[in-house]
Structure 1
Amino acid sequence: MPALLEHANFTVADPEATAAWMARVFGWHTRWQGEAKAGGFTVHVGEKDTYLALYRPSGTPVSGPSSYETVGGLNHIAVVVEDLAQTEGAVRDAGFEPHSHADYEPGERFYFHDDNGIEFEVVAYD
């Protein structure tokens, strides 16, 4: 069996608010939440086998330079959906602006940035 990506961990300003829009847009649920490393707080949001850990440090989180110019930076995270148009509407309803729409073999996609500056790619395969 090949390895399975279980989770990725992101620092965000408000884990509960971020988990809430992810639940609305992607249909995910909060799997766990509580105290985390170094006095921080984390919410795990996703599905049974995979999730995102949304971490807030004990102090005020700060934004860094462009991740595309930082070694080890997070460039974007991709989410596969069945209905691209429906998800795009949910992204807009959550207050985010879709951009960079493209068709490519074997599907189509768009991108958006959330309120933490994290870029998401939303893709639907044919």
Structure 2
Amino acid sequence: MKIGMLEHINLTVSDPDRTARRLCALFGWRVRWQGPSISKGYTVHVGAGNQYIALYTHEGTGAPRQTSYDTKGGLNHIGIVVDDLDATEEHVLATGYETYSHGDYEPGRRFYYRDEDGIEIEVVSYARVPA
């Protein structure tokens, strides 16, 4: 049996273009596709290689849930691996986001932030910083 690979996730956001610009700037991704989609919506695919995030919206898209951890089927967070955690955090902070829940434990270091739609993003690096 072949091992499956995650291709994409699809998120409903308030402004796919804005979210795409931010993710591309922070993580070096690119827009892979954009255009009309289901239910008279609009989608932007951003990512690198064979993996991407589909950012979707349509008329009437409501406010995000306040907490996904208490909702069955809720999205808890998206984890993104980077080579240089400190440089990425500086960039995230310069973009205006607040970072929190910093952790330095095996196997890596990490921090979290929430975007404009309340989506929690975990940024992690498995590269150890020399002592």
TM-score, normalised to structure 1, is 0.96
Structure 2 partner of 1:43: 44
**Are the counterparts in 2 of residues 40 and 56 from structure 1 also a CA contact under 8 Å?**
yes
1:97 to 2:98 alignment: yes
SS of match in other structure, 2:39: helix
Structure 1 or 2, whichever has the larger Rg, is 2
Structure 2 partner of 1:67: 68
Q: Distance in 2 between matches of 1:72 and 1:60?
A: 18
Structure 2 partner of 1:87: 88
Aligned length: 126
Once the two structures are TM-superposed, the CA of residue 7 in structure 1 deviates from its matched residue by 0.2
Paired amino acid for 1:41: Y
Once the two structures are TM-superposed, the CA of residue 106 in structure 1 deviates from its matched residue by 1.4
Q: Give structure 2 stretches of 5+ with no counterpart.
A: none
Q: Deviations over 1:90-124 (max 9, x none)?
A: 11122111101111101100000011100010000
TM-score, normalised to structure 2, is 0.92
Answer 1 or 2: which has greater helix percent.
Answer: 1
Structure 2 partner of 1:110: 111
1:29 to 2:60 alignment: no
Aligned identity (percent) is 52
Q: Distance in 2 between matches of 1:12 and 1:94?
A: 18
SS of match in other structure, 1:33: strand
Q: Distance in 2 between matches of 1:92 and 1:60?
A: 28
Structure 1 partner of 2:77: 76
Q: Distance in 2 between matches of 1:62 and 1:113?
A: 14
**Are the counterparts in 2 of residues 41 and 58 from structure 1 also a CA contact under 8 Å?**
no
Paired amino acid for 2:43: T
Q: Distance in 2 between matches of 1:102 and 1:48?
A: 28
Once the two structures are TM-superposed, the CA of residue 28 in structure 1 deviates from its matched residue by 0.4
Q: Distance in 2 between matches of 1:10 and 1:57?
A: 12
